[in-house]
Amino acid sequence: MKEFVEYIVKNLVDHPEKVQINEIGSTHTLIIELAVEKTDIGKIIGKRGKTINAIRTLLMSVASRNGLRVNLEIIEDQK
């Protein structure tokens, strides 16, 4: 799952080298934390959240095939 999200996100942002993804999971639930450059957050969210919702829909589709529940969270760096 991590590689799937990484592939999608790195192709959307201007600074792919700053993309950080962390997986936190148990047996049936997976939380994916996504951190990107501050200037790229808007590109990940998209207008009215359409881009992030599309990514989450794709993730849920892939996860359901594997019998998992997945949640994608965007982590905002507070520097």
pTM, two decimals, is 0.85
What domains can be seen in the chain, in order of their start residue? 2-74 (3.30.300.20)
Closest CA to 71 of 16, 39, 28: 28
User: How much is the pLDDT for 28?
Assistant: 84
The pLDDT tens digits for 34-68 are: 999 999 999 999 999 999 999 999 999 999 998 88
